[in-house]
A = this chain, B = another copy of it.
Amino acid sequence: MTDHKIINDPVFGFIRIPKGVLLDIVAHPDFFRLSRIRQLGGANMVYPGAQHTRFQHSIGAFHLMSKAIRTLQTKGVEISEAEATAVEAAILMHDIGHGPFSHVLEHTLTSGVNHEEVSLMIMEKLNQEFDGRLTLAIKIFKDEHPRHFLHQLISSQLDMDRLDYLRRDSFFSGVTEGNIGSARIIDMLDVKDDRLVVEKKGIYSIENYLVSRRLMYWQVYLHKTGVAAEHVLINALNRAKDLARQGVELPCSPALQFFL
């Protein structure tokens, strides 16, 4: 009997999920749902390898978070066991509210509600199921915990979300030069006055990260074909909405029907 489950990740290798609240999240249907949502909506029209899911991304961001916490601890930053687990739980759930083709949906079906709000709603629901074991995670996610650098690890210019998705999107799209040095960047992290900072000698790694990010936007995220495919989808959905309002019956799943 081990105290963890292992997930095999083509990007980072074996990732251990410790038993307890973290494994409870990963095993929950609301989380597993992410395994049917692609990370990069329409980009696979151009990059056939870009089939990876938000499930994989969330697991990868969790993995980097564990590394970051351990690095900060070895540099003398005090992070309690409870805080560590909470910030790991929070990064696991940071995308839990994403729907298929997220940005498409935000512009059509769920207009007025963005995926961050949905994520938070699902976290609150899970927290009830889990008897409050996610309370600290949610506080950190909402930046209501007094130690703000923990929130910055989840959401900032250098959060574990971005470090994972740039690396992962580069890996699966085959745009190899978008590969950022996530291990090096994490190794250079520190905390000063409750803010996440980067050691001086990390400056070129950061510049490289910024240029790689721009390259990924140029080559992948904003590629005209992928963007065009999303626009076609948006228009199709809006047209469906119009028709539905006029009383036309459309062949679609009950879940989609609900939104039309």
Asked if B208 and A171 make an inter-chain contact with CB atoms under 8 angstroms apart, the answer reads no
Please report the total number of A residues contacting B with Cβ < 8 Å: 54
> In the complex the two chains form, what is the Cα distance from A7 to B211 in whole Å?
23
Q: Which of A59-93 contact B (CB under 8 A)?
A: 59, 74-76
- CB-based nearest B residue for A181: B177
Q: Is the CB of A55 within 8 A of B59?
A: no
Can you report 11 residue pairs joining A to B where beta carbons are below 8 Å apart?
A8-B49, A9-B49, A10-B49, A10-B173, A11-B49, A14-B183, A14-B184, A35-B44, A48-B59, A51-B53, A253-B253
Given A13-B174, A35-B48, A49-B52, 9 other A-B residues pairs in contact with their CB atoms under 8 A? A8-B48, A8-B49, A9-B48, A176-B179, A177-B184, A179-B179, A204-B215, A204-B218, A208-B211
B173 touching A8 by the CB < 8 A rule?
A: yes
CB closest chain-B residue, reference A55: B48
For A4, give the chain B residue with the smallest CB separation. B74
B4 touches A208 (CB 8 A): no
Q: Does the CB pair B208–A177 fall under 8 Å?
A: yes
Let me know if A129 is at the binding interface, CB within 8 A: no
User: In the docked arrangement, what's the CA distance between A74 and B179, Å?
Assistant: 29
- Indicate if A119 sits at the interface (CB-CB under 8 A): no
A251: interface (CB < 8 Å)? yes
Task: Judge whether A47 is part of the interface by a CB distance below 8 angstroms.
Answer: yes
CA distance A8 to B178 in the complex (A): 13
Assess A3 versus B187: contact at CB under 8 Å? Given A49-B8, A49-B52. no
Q: Which residues of chain B have C-beta atoms less than 8 A from A44's C-beta?
A: 35
Q: Are B51 and A10 in contact (CB under 8 A)?
A: no
Closest CB in chain B relative to A257 CB, distance in Å:
10
**Neighbouring B residues of A172 by C-beta, 8 Å:** 10
Task: Tell me the chain A residues, 155-194 only, with Cβ under 8 Å from chain B.
Answer: 171-177, 179-181, 183-184, 187
The 7 closest A-B pairs by CB, nearest first: A177-B181, A51-B51, A8-B174, A10-B174, A10-B49, A211-B211, A204-B218
Q: How far is the CB of A236 from chain B (nearest CB, A)?
A: 16
Taking the closest CB of chain B, its distance from the CB of A177, in whole angstroms, is 3
Is B212 a contact of A205 with CB atoms below 8 Å?
no
Residues A208 and B212 in contact, CB atoms below 8 Å apart? yes
Most chain B CB within 10 A, of A176, A177, A184, is at A177
Q: B251–A251 contact, CB under 8 A?
A: no
In the bound assembly, the distance between CA atoms of A91 and B14 in angstroms comes to: 23
Cβ of A27 within 8 Å of any chain B Cβ, yes or no, is no
**A219 interfacial by beta-carbon distance below 8 Å:** yes
